[in-house]
Amino acid sequence: MILSAQDCGCSIVEEGPTVINSPVCSGTYLFMVLLQSYLWGRCDISTPCKRIESVKKTDDKYDFVVVGAGSAGSIVASRLSENGTFKVLLLEAGGPEPIAARVPGFYRGFWGNEEVDWKVRAELGDFCLDQGEQGCSWPLGKVLGGTSVLNGMMYHRGHRADYDDWVAHGAEGWSWDELQPYMDMIENNKQIGTVVDGKYHSDAGVMPIQQYNYQPPQLQDLLDAANETGFPIIKDINDPNTPEGFAIAQAFNDNGQRYTTARAYLVPKSERPNLSVKLNAHVTKVLFKCKRAVGVEYVDEKGKKRKVKANKEVILTAGALKSPQILMLSGVGPKETLDKFDIPVVADLPVGKSFKNHCGATLYFLLTKANNTQTLDWNALTAYLLNREGPMASTGLTQLTGFLYSSFADKERNQPDLQFFFNGLYAECSKTGIVGEPAGDCPSSGYNVSANAVHLLPRSVGYMTLNSTDPFDQALYYPNFFDHPDDMEAIKEGFQYLRKIFNSQILQDKYEVKLDPAYTKECDDVAEAWSDKWSECMIRLHTDPQNHQLGTNAIGLVVDPSLRVYNVTNLRVCDAGAMPSPPTGNPQGAIMVVAEKCADLIRQKWTK
Ligand SMILES: Cc1cc2nc3c(=O)[nH]c(=O)nc-3n(C[C@H](O)[C@H](O)[C@H](O)COP(=O)(O)OP(=O)(O)OC[C@H]3O[C@@H](n4cnc5c(N)ncnc54)[C@H](O)[C@@H]3O)c2cc1C
């Protein structure tokens, strides 16, 4: 035994899915069983005394009912319950957070696990062709903490111009300067003065933010390659003076562990009796009295339909893909859709019509001189268990990112429209834990890494609509990627930037990098590598639709600048769906701002 289980002062409840049968690690067993049990036994990881317990039964009435305990909902419910006077209910369709998801190395470990992932698929189009008839895959958190349980934890809050764009869409009061206090309330930055400048960051907020405490050596090689290529290397992607460049990102983590918004913001009922959390509660509709939202209907873990009243407001925070479905099922949506499904119209609004998402494409490379071995082994596990350090304490190459301008961007606005991500070296699976164990999914020599070029200011606009009136049925999502030709062209430019990085002397000398032929062969048959035609083929084949969906209940279309749904009362939407245009970067930072401001607006209204 490396460490025996600790006495945490509260008993450990082994709930939620484990990493043992993670879809990413299928076939692994003994080592992962041991690893999982070691994780349970560490008090600071399993935090049994901070456990958010689901209430068995909800009361008849609350002041506020918040729907969806994800990135936004956990914040809204926490802030509303803070002063002790409001009685708040937070309803979540999923169950408890898997403890192993707190290990950054397992950041992909629960994708596709239906206990915590809605496993959403987009409708088919001329994109994501490598996924065949299934359509683009969108992992989406169905769990306490929502998608902050599955995401890459990268902290970015967008650029000043993003918020100017929001204001231009009618979001009065949402400029960068007006939102600054909310950004400060969020951020508990642990690297002010070392990595980031206190002028642009706060350490007084709730969410711990810093770089991971481990970087694989190959990460520095990639940074050196970007530098050799002539791209700026920056320290802080959130410093407004350095919008362009490559950097090791700061992330939502502390002590080598993921922080979801639920973990950072929610507190157990014993500490805050006026906040109740009900898990496995799937909200099926908002209940209206005339045009006033008066509560919600949900189906509990036993399949029983329940109703709960909201004396003051119902707040939807079910995310950009699910809040619009709940609205439509409740009679708030485009009249033609509601009529089609015989849903009585409460408010005729363009719900689901302005659906946007960042979109890019993936290039797969082989580091032909690198060893094809697992990153997770006994050494990595020991380093993590003893000190919360080593490969398990980071997301490998994924902590590196970069922002550049395509020829479609207006540089004067300091709003880069291309972002780059890198994938590989995850300490996520092992059969034996033996040092040097070959990585199962790679060829016998060479190490696979991949990189994504992502367009952040897409001109294509999609939509979503109902598939049926069954609330458990997936709605239909039409992202319309590449409908606007500029989006394809911008990603092609991104490909050329990545080509330069991977062709750099430093990477060639050290790793002899080449495109992995397993991923290019369809397009190699079409045209010469890196040509325009080849790039388009690759982009449609290996589309990388981000999980940054937004705009389905946008400010100015469906909700007003106070996030109140138009033409009804006592109902708000406070999640990614409310954002009228994309933040140019990873969106959780901006979504947290939406949630903080939403809670503040509600408090102002109901506090005398
Ligand atoms: C793989 C991946 C990587 C990502 N990486 C990053 C990153 O590094 N940085 C970043 O900033 N962003 C990242 N994102 C995006 C970011 O995580 C999401 O944009 C964000 O979490 C969305 O927040 P939300 O509150 O709008 O929705 P969610 O966090 O998805 O929360 C919605 C919640 O509502 C619940 N819900 C839905 N329907 C119902 C219902 N009917 N009844 C009750 N509850 C319901 C859901 O189960 C969920 O818990 C990533 C996303 C993914 C999937």
Q: In 300-383, where do the E strands start and end?
A: 305-316, 332-333, 347-348, 359-367
User: What does residue 65 show for φ and ψ, rounded to 5 degrees?
Assistant: -115, 120
Inside any domain, residue 14:
no
Answer whether 324 contacts ligand 1 (Cβ < 6 A): no
Inside any domain, residue 4:
no
Domain boundary among 510, 530, 545: 545
Q: Are residues 340 and 473 in the same domain?
A: no
- For residue 334, give the CATH number of its domain: 3.50.50.60
Q: Are residues 440 and 401 in the same domain?
A: yes
Distances (CA, A) of 110 to 92, 266, 426, 439, 445: 18, 22, 14, 19, 28
Please answer whether residues 420 and 454 qualify as being in contact, where contact means their C-beta atoms are separated by less than 8 angstroms. yes
Q: Are residues 125 and 39 in the same domain?
A: yes
Distance of CA 114 from the midpoint of ligand 1 (Å) = 15
Answer whether 589 contacts ligand 1 (Cβ < 6 A): yes
Answer whether 92 contacts ligand 1 (Cβ < 6 A): yes
d(CA 121, CA 224): 37
Inside any domain, residue 3:
no
**Size of the chain in residues:** 608
Ligand 1 atom closest to 91 (CA): 43
Domain extent, residue 86, equals 53-97+143-200+258-350+550-608
Q: Are residues 589 and 474 in the same domain?
A: no
d(CA 7, CA 324): 45
Domain boundary among 523, 545, 567: 545
Inside any domain, residue 531:
yes
pLDDT at position 440 is 65
d(CA 396, CA 216): 6
Name the residue of 299, 394, 588 whose CB sits within 8 Å of the most ligand 1 atoms, as the mutation to test its pocket. 588
Distance of CA 149 from the midpoint of ligand 1 (Å) = 8
DSSP state of 4: P
User: Which residues belong to the active site?
Assistant: 548
Ligand 1 atom closest to 281 (CA): 43
Name the residue of 22, 76, 147, 598 whose CB sits within 8 Å of the most ligand 1 atoms, as the mutation to test its pocket. 147
- Residue 143 marked in a binding site: yes
Q: Please name every residue paired with 464 in a beta bridge, in sequence order, or none if there are none.
A: 477
Nearest CA to ligand 1 atom 37: 318
Answer whether 401 contacts ligand 1 (Cβ < 6 A): no
Domain boundary among 545, 577, 592: 545
Ligand 1 atom closest to 142 (CA): 47
Ligand 1 atom closest to 587 (CA): 11
Name the residue of 547, 575, 596 whose CB sits within 8 Å of the most ligand 1 atoms, as the mutation to test its pocket. 547
pLDDT at position 371 is 82
Number of structural domains the chain divides into: 2
The CB-side HSE value for 541 (13 A sphere, CA atoms) comes to: 16
Distance of CA 252 from the midpoint of ligand 1 (Å) = 14
Torsion sign, CA atoms 356, 136, 69, 350: positive
- Closest of 317, 293, 295, 318 to residue 308, by C-alpha: 295
Q: Are residues 384 and 341 in the same domain?
A: no
Please answer whether residues 598 and 563 qualify as being in contact, where contact means their C-beta atoms are separated by less than 8 angstroms. yes
Q: Are residues 447 and 580 in the same domain?
A: no
pLDDT at position 28 is 79
Distance of CA 150 from the midpoint of ligand 1 (Å) = 8
Please answer whether residues 517 and 540 qualify as being in contact, where contact means their C-beta atoms are separated by less than 8 angstroms. no
Name the residue of 151, 280, 306, 544 whose CB sits within 8 Å of the most ligand 1 atoms, as the mutation to test its pocket. 151
Q: Are residues 266 and 118 in the same domain?
A: no
Please answer whether residues 141 and 149 qualify as being in contact, where contact means their C-beta atoms are separated by less than 8 angstroms. yes
Answer whether 89 contacts ligand 1 (Cβ < 6 A): no
Residue 323: other Cβ atoms inside 10 A: 29
Nearest CA to ligand 1 atom 3: 151
d(CA 97, CA 99): 6
- Residue 561 marked in a binding site: no
Q: Are residues 282 and 262 in the same domain?
A: yes
- Residue 120 marked in a binding site: no
Amino acid symbol at 439? A
Low-confidence spans in the chain with pLDDT less than 50: none
- Tell me the angle at which helices 30-40 and 378-387 cross, rounded to the nearest 10 degrees: 0
Q: Are residues 422 and 515 in the same domain?
A: yes
The owner of tokens 């918040």 is 66
d(CA 359, CA 482): 9
Beta strands 400-404 and 418-423: pairing type?
Answer: antiparallel
Answer whether 147 contacts ligand 1 (Cβ < 6 A): yes
Amino acid symbol at 230? G
Q: Please name every residue paired with 45 in a beta bridge, in sequence order, or none if there are none.
A: none
Answer whether 91 contacts ligand 1 (Cβ < 6 A): yes
Q: Are residues 296 and 331 in the same domain?
A: yes
d(CA 174, CA 369): 50
- For residue 389, give the CATH number of its domain: 3.30.560.10
- 3-state secondary structure (DSSP) of residue 288: strand
Torsion sign, CA atoms 504, 508, 510, 513: positive
- Closest of 212, 214, 221, 208 to residue 249, by C-alpha: 212
Inside any domain, residue 205:
no
Answer whether 548 contacts ligand 1 (Cβ < 6 A): yes
- Tell me the angle at which helices 532-541 and 517-524 cross, rounded to the nearest 10 degrees: 120
Answer whether 71 contacts ligand 1 (Cβ < 6 A): yes
Distance of CA 147 from the midpoint of ligand 1 (Å) = 3
DSSP state of 96: P
d(CA 483, CA 477): 15
Element (H, E) at 19: none
Inside any domain, residue 16:
no
Terminal alpha carbon distance of the chain: 58
Angle at 411 between CA 410 and CA 415, to 5 degrees: 85
For residue 284, give both structure tokens: 């099926």
Nearest CA to ligand 1 atom 9: 154
Distance of CA 72 from the midpoint of ligand 1 (Å) = 8
Question: Which residues does 82 contact at the CB level (< 8 Å), separation at least 6?
Answer: none
pTM score > 0.95 for this model?
Answer: yes
d(CA 575, CA 597): 11
Answer whether 285 contacts ligand 1 (Cβ < 6 A): no
Nearest CA to ligand 1 atom 23: 71
Answer whether 326 contacts ligand 1 (Cβ < 6 A): yes
Nearest CA to ligand 1 atom 21: 147
Inside any domain, residue 371:
yes
Distance of CA 203 from the midpoint of ligand 1 (Å) = 24
Q: Are residues 377 and 472 in the same domain?
A: yes
pLDDT at position 289 is 97
d(CA 215, CA 4): 28
- Contacts of 229-232 spanning 24+ positions with Cβ under 8 A: 229/497, 229/500, 229/501, 229/504, 231/402, 231/404, 231/497, 231/501
Inside any domain, residue 606:
yes
Question: Which residues does 459 contact at the CB level (< 8 Å), separation at least 6?
Answer: 484, 486, 487
Distance of CA 572 from the midpoint of ligand 1 (Å) = 18
Residue 313: other Cβ atoms inside 10 A: 22
Ligand 1 atom closest to 323 (CA): 38
Answer whether 550 contacts ligand 1 (Cβ < 6 A): no
Q: Are residues 320 and 363 in the same domain?
A: no
Burial state string for 103-115 with b = 16 or more CB within 10 A and e = fewer than 16: bbbbbbbbbbbee
DSSP track, 128-164: -GGGGGG--EE--B-BTTGGGGTS--B-----HHHHH
Answer whether 140 contacts ligand 1 (Cβ < 6 A): yes
